[in-house]
Structure 1
């Protein structure tokens, strides 16, 4: 689905179903150096079980026109503009990593537009190590390899990997490499800098009144559960789920993540 947002082309994956204003909407927001496809194993299920799906490609990522936006608040404004252009007056927001900060900031800017908030692989502050920031600026291929290793709980998926036919680490690496090829303007550094610089997270979290779900990977090295105390304390009403995965939880434990999200979406909170 192609939408004009702020005068530029934006792409949303809809799960193979046309948008229907009579159905509730769920917007999925990916993280740094990724696109909508990281939610492939969850979005299609939602689309075929009663929900509109708008899995976005952020500006400069995937099929959405660039340039990439330089800050989380700018990305939140863009997301809200996209929802309006798509005809979604309200939506549940599902954000992963950088996408979780975007969802959180969007809920702060327009609480009336957000019915529920699901934050995956999240933390605040979302600080990025100086060494990784420097590598993303000066040697993006090396940064991709570093993040790919740190985002997964194992170098090799077990034979009964819950995403059959998916080479989890290989696909993640190729996706990030593809984002570099599409947008060579230091995309990883831009995304990481936006995460590192975002300073409104505590205020935004304390202002949230809608139902909240947080999904943490028990083996997450990028946003480890121990780093989330400020965020969880700021939203004491949040439901918390832990899955046996690293940061790339949607690929490592797609069924567990789907169960958490779909149960939350359908719950009468």
Structure 2
């Protein structure tokens, strides 16, 4: 689905199912240097089991035109503008990595628009090393290699997505290379810099008023489970219902443990309001 968002074309994958006005909506938000395709399995299942799906390409990423937004808050504002363009009043937000910060910020600042939030591989602060920031700015192939090494917990995760036997490192490398080729200059660095600079996580966590699910990979080297503890504590202190799920995976939860990720997300989505 192509939408006009803030005067520019924006793409949202609908999971292979036409939008139906009476269905609840789930919005999937990818991480740095990725696009909607990281949610391939999860979005198709949601779309064919009673929910409308909008798996976005963030501004400047693949099918969505730029300019890329340079801060998490600006990306959260863009997400609300996308809901407006799709004529969606309320939605569940599902984010991965950088996408978790966007979902968190959006839900806290626009509480009337968000029904619940799922955060996959989240952390606060989401610090990015100087080595990776420098590589993303000047040596993108090196940055892609680093992220691939740190995102996956094994060479051949079983089961994996799209099917057992696929080379997850290679698929992720090609995706990031495609985003680099089709996106605007410096996009990888812009994404990582937005994560690194985001300072409002605890304030936003304390302002949440909707149920939250946190899914972590036990072997995640980029956003280890302990890195989400302060966010979870802030949410609980604010009286928010927080469900935590631990999977045997690294940072790439959706591809290393696709079925377990889907099962957790869909069960959370189907819980009574």
TM-score band w.r.t. shorter chain: over 0.9
Alpha-carbon distance in 1 for matches of 2:13, 2:253:
20
| 8 Å Cα contact 1:152-1:246 kept in structure 2 | yes
Deviation, 1:70, is 0.5
Aligned counterpart, 2:268: 264
Q: TM-score if structure 1 supplies the norm length?
A: 0.97
Alpha-carbon distance in 2 for matches of 1:133, 1:178:
19
| 8 Å Cα contact 2:68-2:184 kept in structure 1 | no
Aligned counterpart, 2:143: 143
What is the Cα-based RMSD across aligned positions, in Å? 1.1
- Residue segments in structure 2 that go unaligned for 5+ positions in a row: none
| 8 Å Cα contact 2:71-2:194 kept in structure 1 | yes
Deviation, 1:186, is 1.1
| Residues 161 and 76 of structure 1: CA distance in aligned 2, closer, same or farther (over 3 Å) | closer
For residues 190-229 of structure 1, what are the structure 2 equivalents within 5 Å? 190-229=190-229
User: What SS is found at the alignment partner of 2:156?
Assistant: coil
Aligned counterpart, 1:48: 48
Deviation, 1:168, is 1.4
| Residues 76 and 153 of structure 1: CA distance in aligned 2, closer, same or farther (over 3 Å) | same
- Residue segments in structure 1 that go unaligned for 5+ positions in a row: none
Q: TM-score if structure 2 supplies the norm length?
A: 0.96
| 8 Å Cα contact 2:26-2:92 kept in structure 1 | yes
| Residues 188 and 162 of structure 1: CA distance in aligned 2, closer, same or farther (over 3 Å) | closer
Deviation, 1:184, is 4.5
User: What SS is found at the alignment partner of 1:210?
Assistant: coil
Deviation, 1:167, is 2.5
Alpha-carbon distance in 2 for matches of 1:162, 1:147:
18
Alpha-carbon distance in 2 for matches of 1:81, 1:157:
37
Deviation, 1:67, is 1.8
| 8 Å Cα contact 1:221-1:246 kept in structure 2 | yes
Alpha-carbon distance in 2 for matches of 1:245, 1:8:
37
For residues 154-165 of structure 1, what are the structure 2 equivalents within 5 Å? 154-158=154-158, 160-161=159-160, 163-164=162-163
Aligned counterpart, 2:11: 11
Alpha-carbon distance in 2 for matches of 1:87, 1:197:
31
Are residue 29 (structure 1) and residue 29 (structure 2) matched? yes
Alpha-carbon distance in 1 for matches of 2:125, 2:87:
32
